[in-house]
Amino acid sequence: MIGLTILGSTGSIGVSTLDVVARHPGQYRVEALTANRDVERLLAQCIEFHPAYAVMADPDAALLLERRIRDAGLAVEVLAGVEGLEQVASMDSVQYVMAAIVGAAGLLPTLAAARSGKRVLLANKEALVVSGELFMQTAASSGAEILPIDSEHNAVFQCMPEGFREGLDQVGVTRILLTASGGPFRTLPLDQLQGVTPDQACAHPNWEMGRKISVDSATMMNKGLEVIEACWLFHTSADRIRVVLHPQSVIHSMVAYSDGSVLAQLGNPDMRTPIAHALAWPRRMASGVEPLDLFEVARLDFEAPDLHRFPCLRLAYQAIDAGGGAPAILNAANEVAVAAFLERRIAFTAIPAVIDSALEALPGKRVDDLDGLLALDAEARERAEQSIAGLV
Ligand code: NAD
Ligand code: MG
């Protein structure tokens, strides 16, 4: 049996991962489950999956969980904090780590998994955006396998030829076509964007996801982060990656070859497909996802993204061009701005303004060590908070 740690097991990806695992009894042993502070849900998952460890990032929540675990008579060891997360991401009894914490909060445990040579099922794109070069080097030197869970990158991975790590030209790949649904506001009149609410922003037309990534999809910052993610995962520069709006979310991405062929991966929009793919790779296994009915889909549309409607996508390209620490600044400022929008402290349309001010204020110099990245992340958060304070 394969030992599995799920970082962020109470979230949308975490719950879908447990759903897939439960369909294959005897194949995966859930060694550790982790959450930030959702004690009730983590307890319920412990009762169902009997992990050896449960980790709460929040120390008070850990104390509470420990008491509940004891009362329930379970043999689960409770750990706390980022040290606990790093421990369960790197321990010997674990071979696969699902990295599904949201935001840069997942950076240290995800890096710990990469450092200890695990198969890393990478959903936590922010970790890669912040630490790209360091993360890929860490994985390369430990021999960790990085398998993308983000549906687009999982699709690209499925359409890529063997040997793509040597360079796209060597294997005849000319372009990566990253599809994007355009989110809930693709056609909303521009003058109404100012007044949209968090619930409207989180009502994604095709996917059910956590609130942070749902807002990122509505601003299209999600696609910007994904372009950066794809550069690292597929060893390419951003000029080889084209974003294609595809409102039906049936084609999850494509790879174009020098002979004119374009390979696509299709399926219903359900994260259990990429999760099952990465758990079973190089084999295949059932995921519980409904088979795709092309007659029901009936048509597939494509359009170019509008950078005027989606200034966050433009800012992401700006950060890619600037290079160095700029993607880490972009990510940190975006996390702060999205949290402020979800708390109704700023308008939806203020999100790009906050990010822009952080990118303007901080030099995007090259940072290649972890301490430097963490310091830059903290500085960008502070800068973004200051600009929010100036807005309200
Ligand atoms: P979510 O908000 O539903 O869940 C987040 C998980 O992280 C929860 O278990 C939460 O307890 C944990 N967490 C939050 N803050 C934490 C902290 N400070 N320390 C430790 N744990 C913390 O998010 P999600 O939608 O499942 O997304 C998770 C990641 O996967 C994100 O990086 C997202 O971009 C990526 N992703 C999600 C989807 C999707 O369909 N949901 C698709 C592609 C990529
Ligand atoms: Mg995605």
Q: What is the pLDDT of residues 214-269, one digit of tens each?
A: 999 999 999 999 999 999 999 999 999 999 999 999 999 999 999 999 999 999 99
From 122, 130, 209, 216, give the residue whose CB has the most ligand 1 atoms within 8 Å, as the site to mutate: 209
63 Cα: distance to centroid of ligand 2 (angstroms): 35
Whether cis (ω within 30° of 0) applies to the bond prior to 198 is no
CA nearest ligand 1 atom 31, residue: 102
271 touches ligand 1 (CB under 6 Å): yes
**Residue 177's beta-bridge partner residues?**
242, 254
Alpha helices in the chain (DSSP H): 12-22, 39-49, 59-71, 81-90, 107-115, 125-142, 151-159, 198-202, 211-219, 221-233, 272-280, 294-297, 311-322, 326-342, 350-361, 370-391
pLDDT of residue 138: 98
b/e for 338-367, b at 16 or more Cβ within 10 A?
A: bbbbbeeebbbebbbbbbbbbbebbebeeb
Q: How many Å apart are CA 253 and CA 246, to the nearest integer?
A: 10
CA gap 223, 218 in Å, rounded: 10
Give me the pLDDT at residue 363, please. 81
How far, in Å, from the CA of 50 to the mean position of ligand 2? 30
Distance 149 CA to ligand 2 centre (A): 8
Residues 281-329 have pLDDT tens digits of 999 999 999 999 999 999 999 999 999 999 999 999 999 999 999 999 9
Q: How far is the CA of 60 from the centre of ligand 1 (A)?
A: 20
Q: What pLDDT is recorded for position 134?
A: 97
pLDDT for res 391: 81
Query: Which pLDDT does position 111 carry in this prediction?
Result: 98
pLDDT of residue 368: 82
CA–CA gap between residue 228 and residue 326 (Å, rounded): 11
Nearest-atom number in ligand 1 for the CA of 271 is: 40
Ligand 1: atom nearest CA of 222 is 34
Q: Which atom of ligand 1 is nearest to the CA of 15?
A: 26
> Phi and psi of 316, rounded to 5°?
-65, -45
pLDDT over 80 (residue 392): no
Would you state the pLDDT for residue 5?
A: 98
* pLDDT above 80 for 160: yes
**Ligand 1 centroid from CA 106, angstroms:** 9
Is the CB of 36 within 6 Å of ligand 1? yes
What's the average model confidence in pLDDT over 52-75?
97
The per-residue DSSP string of 322-357 comes to H-TTHHHHHHHHHHHHHHHHHTTSS-TTHHHHHHHH
377 pLDDT higher than 80: yes
Mean pLDDT of the chain: 97
Distance 172 CA to ligand 1 centre (A): 35
Cβ of 77 below 6 Å from ligand 1? no
Q: How far apart are the first and last CA of the chain?
A: 54
What the chain holds in terms of domains, given with CATH numbers, is 2-148 (3.40.50.720), 155-268+291-297 (no CATH), 323-391 (1.10.1740.10)
β partners of residue 32: 5, 53
Residue 349: closest CA among 391, 381, 303: 391
